[in-house]
Amino acid sequence: MDAQQLTTLAGVIDKKMNRQLKQYIDICARCAICKDACHQYVGTGDFKYLPARRAELIRQVYKKYFDKTGRFVPALYEARDPDDNLLDELYDSAYACTGCRRCMYYCPFSIDTAWILSVAKAILIAAGRGNEMLGQLADAAIFKGDNAEMFNDVMISGFEDIQEEVRAITGNPESQVPVNKQGADILYVALAGAHSIRPAAVIFEEAGESWTISMFEAANYGFFYGDAEKARLITKRYIDEAIRLGVKEIVVPECGHAYRVAEFFYEAWSKEPMPFKVSHILEKVDQYIKAGRITVDKGLIEGKVTYHDPCQLGRNGGKFEEPRDIVKAVTDNFVDLTPNRAEQWCCGGGGGIVAMEEFKDVRLASGIKKVEQLKASGASVLACPCENCRLQIEELNEVHELGLQVWQVIDLVVAAMPLKGKKPMQA
Amino acid sequence: MSEENKIDLELDLKGLLCPLPMVKVSQNIGKVEVGGIIRAVATDPGAMADIPAWAKSTGNEVLQAEKVDGQFVFLVKRVK
């Protein structure tokens, strides 16, 4: 790496390291309590996945440029240049991390390792070493936003097909998947897949909701990639759409990071307040059930049902009770995982890791705590409101022969609704 | 099928939910030579926007994106 590149990387570090992050790397006492909190360290025993070790890499490179001891006596103070070896270590540390922040929950100083690793991703991107897959997925989403008219016809055709499926489920030929409905109360920003639209549409229609479907998906690979500007542009697509349609509320689907991005990060990235509320689909469904706007029958779901808190929705999003209240409304046979809520184990599938083949082994190994929890629960049905979690748990289900049915929570709700049409297949 | 559309790799993406069809095409594009063609069959309608958007933004080319008997069939050419 030449001097110019090193100067560039030092600039990135300087820009990213705010007072909070400097404090984090200063106060870590290396107590290693985080080792028992991290599903990747517990699952692999590999030192490189120890949260304190991941943060230590940033401390080493920070000291090299911004601390006198590290600048003048780097060997003594473990200060390092971001050479190829360090970049390789940063890559494994940063992109393997699922950002679950369970280490932060147990850290006596609440050190946010996932935030520290955002510096690692910024360094890697500046060095041309960002994860290629996540970068491509982010760029594809931005392209769709910049060229929306190019995809209008296929999107609308897809929504029309889904509308027919919704009508078959509700038994109501008037059920809609409204597109571009000016003045609707809600803009539902689904995932790209029909599975996140179909059951939500059934519920919105049966609840008599005023809603319209977004032309864009809520998933945000710019966030996983570690590029706040790409993440902002991806989110901005549906924020602008919501403003154009004059909606009162954006509802995001069963996707952990999509909720966190819309609710907690976008205003900070854009430096503009949003003129509407952001809700998670399960908040709305919980309200509909409690208000009697939709009817669910407890006798329609067979087997013991459990619930997995996706890290971005639960520990990092504060939504613990609404999903549980929904599941308890559709079955009397609910059992919680142990531990749960803020102490819930990460399944190992977050942070975009399911899209990165190079981390498949560590991903599957890191799911062992989730497998143990699921086995101990004795459940045959798992409700899980996060796409990445479901992908991971379905793979764990297969590898460990758990015999689980893995459902979206809204699929469970639709299955429990006494509708006139045919029962849907599980997504 | 014409000679220029000789398929170098078949991807069965049926049952995968978006964005996984796009992810799988992206993961596999390096397995064909430049100029090579992947034929991918998906069932999630979201792929009809996802895969062309991925191809445009990565500089590759979608030769065909069609709905056939309820499935979505793509011919994707590796350009670089």
DSSP letter string, A106-151: H-TT---HHHHHHHHHHHHHHTT-S-HHHHHHHHHHHHHHHTHHHH
Q: A-chain residues within 8 Å CB-CB of B50?
A: 140, 192
- For residue A179, the 8-state DSSP code is B
Say what percent of chain A tops pLDDT 90: 96
At B3, the pLDDT band (50, 70, 90 cuts) reads: low
Nearest CA-CA distance, residue B71 and chain A, Å: 12
Q: So what's the pLDDT on residue A151?
A: 95
As a whole-number percent, the residues of chain B with pLDDT over 90 amount to: 90
How many Cβ atoms are within 10 Å of A319's Cβ, its own excluded?
23
Mean pLDDT over A338-354 rounds to 98
Q: What is the pTM of this model?
A: 0.96
For chain B positions 19-78, those within 8 Å of chain A (CB to CB) are 19-20, 22-23, 26-27, 44-50, 52-54, 56-58, 65, 67
Consecutive H or E run containing A345? none
Residue A383 dihedral angles phi and psi, to the nearest 5°: -95, 130
Residues 6+ apart with CB under 8 A from A322: A280, A282, A283, A285, A286
In sequence order, which residues have a C-beta less than 8 Å from that of residue A7 and are 6 or more positions away?
none
CA dist., res. A168 & res. A420, Å (int): 9
Both structure tokens of A81: 């240049």
**Structure token digits, residue A20:** 């909070």
Distance CA A59, CA A80 (A): 9
Question: Mean pLDDT over residues A372-389, rounded?
Answer: 98
Q: Which of B8, B9, B16, B18 is catalytic?
A: B18
Alpha helices by DSSP H, A271-337: 281-290, 321-330
pLDDT (mean) for A286-300? 96
CB A392 within 8 A of CB A363: yes
pLDDT of A178 reads 98
pLDDT of residue B4: 64
What is the C-alpha to C-alpha distance for residues A82 and A5, in angstroms, rounded to an integer? Answer: 10
Percent of chain A at pLDDT exceeding 70: 99
A285 vs B67: CA distance, rounded Å: 33
Give the residue-averaged pLDDT of A176-199: 97
A277 three-class SS: strand
Mean pLDDT (whole number) for A56-85: 92
What confidence category does residue A106 fall into, taking pLDDT thresholds of 50, 70 and 90? very high
Average pLDDT over residues B37-45: 96
Mean pLDDT of chain A: 96
Tell if the CB–CB gap between B49 and A154 is shorter than 8 Å: yes
Domains of chain A, earliest start first? 3-130 (1.10.1060), 134-290 (3.40.50), 305-416 (3.40.50)
B-contacting residues of A 19-38, CB under 8 Å?
none
For B28-49, what is the mean pLDDT?
96
pLDDT value of position A427: 39
In the annotation, is B64 catalytic?
no
Residues contacting A137, CB < 8 A, separation 6+: A221, A225, A352, A355, B19, B22, B23, B26, B54
Interface residue A191 vs chain B (CB under 8 A)? yes
pLDDT value of residue A260: 97
Q: What is the pLDDT of residue A425?
A: 52
What is the set of domains in chain B, with CATH numbers?
3-77 (3.30.110.40)
Instruction: Please say if the pLDDT value at position A422 is more than 90.
Output: no
Q: Do A133 and B26 touch (CB under 8 A)?
A: yes
Report which of A132, A272, A105, A244 is spatially closest to residue A187, judged by C-alpha positions: A244
Tokens representing A118 are: 């955002």
- What pLDDT, on a 0 to 100 scale, did the predictor assign at position B1? 47
Q: What does the alpha-carbon distance between residue B73 and residue B67 come to, in Å, rounded to a whole number? A: 6
Location of structure tokens 């590898």: A399
How large is the average pLDDT for residues A136-153? Answer: 96
> Within 10 Å of residue B67's Cβ, how many Cβ atoms?
14
pLDDT computed for residue A1 by the predictor: 81
A26 has a pLDDT exceeding 90: yes
- When scoring B17, B60, B62, B72 by the number of chain A Cβ atoms within 10 A, the one with the most, hence best to mutate, is B17
Q: Which of A142, A194, A355 sits opposite B46 (nearest CB)?
A: A194
Question: Where residue A77 falls among pLDDT bands split at 50, 70, 90?
Answer: confident
> Considering only alpha carbons, which residue of chain A is nearest residue B15?
A427
